């Protein structure tokens, strides 16, 4: 199911944004920092657990497929069959995702036949907007 050099799947970066991100004239916003961490992959939509989901609970979820590691520049690439997936970045003992599809579930990513879908995981906990 999972492939290392895929022709289809998901590619992206795990990034952390911090500092003042307000659109102020004359200030330079801090750039997102890459994060080397585990990217957890679940099939389909996952019901909203909040921005943090303890790994002790997530690893027992019936839709959990696998995890892969992002490299030093935050990049990851995973081959997956066509379908809908939910991806989370791991921070310490929690999974993190702050992208939601309404109040009940997390944002998903759709993998189409023969395509690599771009999907970045951005942690904004330490950013000010």
Q: What is the pLDDT of residues 10-21, one digit of tens each?
A: 999 999 998 878
How far apart (Å, rounded) are the C-alpha atoms in residues 71 and 81? 23
Residue 40 belongs to some domain of the structure: yes
Could you tell me the pTM of the whole model?
Answer: 0.88
Count of other CB atoms within 10 angstroms of residue 87: 26
Closest CA to 48 of 16, 86, 92: 86
Residue 1 belongs to some domain of the structure: no
Residue 2 belongs to some domain of the structure: no
Range of the domain at 14: 9-128
Return the CATH number at 17.
Answer: 2.60.40.10
Within its chain, how far is the Cα of 36 from the centroid? 12
Residue 94 belongs to some domain of the structure: yes
- Confidence (pLDDT) at 19: 81
Q: What dihedral angle (degrees, nearest 10) is formed by the CA atoms of 63, 68, 74, 80?
A: -60
Question: How many distinct structural domains can be found in the chain?
Answer: 1
């Amino acid at each position: 199911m999972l492939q290392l050099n895929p022709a289809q799947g998901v590619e992206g970066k795990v990034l952390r944004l911090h500092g003042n991100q307000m659109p102020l004239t004359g200030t330079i916003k801090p750039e997102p920092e890459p994060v080397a961490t585990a990217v957890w992959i679940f099939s389909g939509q996952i019901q909203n657990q909040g921005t943090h989901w303890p790994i002790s609970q997530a690893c027992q979820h019936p839709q959990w497929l696998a995890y892969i590691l992002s490299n030093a520049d935050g990049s990851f690439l995973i081959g997956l069959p066509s379908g809908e997936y939910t991806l989370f970045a791991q921070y310490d003992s929690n999974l993190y995702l702050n992208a939601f599809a309404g109040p009940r579930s997390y944002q998903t990513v759709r993998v189409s036949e023969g395509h690599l879908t771009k999907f970045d995981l951005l942690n904004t906990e330490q950013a000010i907007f």
